[in-house]
Amino acid sequence: MKMNAVVAGVGMTRFGKHLESGLKAIGAEAVEAALKDAGMTGADIEAAYVGNAAAGLVTGQECIRGQVVLRSAGIGKIPVINVENACASASTALHQAAAMVTAGLYDVVLALGVEKLYHEDKRKSFAAFSGAVDVEAMAEIMARLKEGAKEASPGSSGEGAGENRSMFMDIYAAAARNHMKHYGTTVNQFAGVAAKNSFHGSMNPRAQFREALSVEDVLNSPMIAAPLTRPMCSPIGDGAAAVVVVSERKARSLGLVTPVRISSMVLHSGWDHAPGEEGGAAELCAREAYAEAGVGPKDLSVIELHDASAPAELMAYESLGLCGKGEGGRLIDSGATRLGGPIPVNTSGGLLRKGHPVGATGIAQVVELTEQLRGDSGARQVKGAKVGLAHNGGGSIGSDAAAMCISVLVR
């Protein structure tokens, strides 16, 4: 969808383990930061869209999540719409907020993504991910993952998915092995993604992990699901991120002369592919987002993409048209996606290092892009950044994402 919405303010918490803070405190912190950045108060907000994926499973807050969080921040009366779309919950909430502004229904809308994943019982945390697939097909999915794990590591039982780790790491591991088989991609190239993002994350004060790692460090880390070592897998986390979007009319009244604009946001679901059909939800979203924003891959200054695993980033390069199919490994080897390269990717540290509180992730990407386009990113600033792209997927059905959202921001 072609959008005409202006980013007036952004805010987010540090991502990480916040056992001492509840959903309300975390969400309010991000909202207050975004309002302060916009020079507004809660009374200026006309509607709010709140993304959250797992509160019902982890905290027990099954309903009215957005209302509970916003009331604690002093915001009531307005329409509050709760949005759940797995790991794409926040980007879907922002998509709806920007669409309402674009349609002229509101001048000021808040989009918030908030999540609590840490729990003393880790099985509750991992259950949040197990619900992001077709649960009626769970037995078949688990059998397939276990068989693939046994083939990758002879002697392995293939146990542990969904119990001591997110089952999505096994899904990504299977995709990684398939990419290696078909295109000759190497484990070192996957490790290169994790090392690059650790370098970027080391300069981000809001990142969950700030230690810079070498490729060797990544390769020598504990194995999670072959061939993925721990730094190749995104961690669970707590956190929130918020964006205040406004109409052009409101932007002028606020004195925003050269603001960051949401030029396009495209949201699609995956589908059952026809035999021989190439591409999926990410490719479809990318084509439409580029066309609606009037840009292409070569126009992008900076990208925040859904690196829930290191192989996921490498494969997203191909889906977004940064390189040809099967060439993602060579692109990471070239250094093109590292700060200082022609197309820096995940300058925040990405999900691998910034963290992945699933219901907050999509808006956190937009916070990073907004700050990059404003020139406010400090040591990790991309020089002359003018066009940014966010790529945020959610859930898995078959061989594709259940939901995919791609956004283009310009200044």
Q: Which residues form the catalytic set? A: 87, 356
Half-sphere exposure of 197 (CA within 13 A, CB side): 36
Assign residue 327 a region: left if phi > 0, alpha if psi is -120 to 50, beta otherwise?
alpha
The CA distance from 21 to 317, in Å, is 36
The CA distance from 109 to 94, in Å, is 9
CA-based torsion, 80, 86, 87, 91: positive or negative: negative
* Residue 41 CB coordination number (10 Å): 12
The CA distance from 33 to 14, in Å, is 12
The CA distance from 267 to 344, in Å, is 24
In terms of Cα–Cα distance, which of 35, 295, 289, 310 is closest to 197?
310
In the 8-state DSSP scheme, what is residue 85? B
Q: Which residues pair with 302 in a beta bridge?
A: 388
Q: What are phi and psi of 406, to 5 degrees?
A: -125, 130
| Cβ(409)–Cβ(387) below 8 Å | yes
Assign residue 231 a region: left if phi > 0, alpha if psi is -120 to 50, beta otherwise?
alpha
Residue 283, both tokens: 């490719």
Residue 231, both tokens: 């730094």
The CA distance from 341 to 296, in Å, is 18
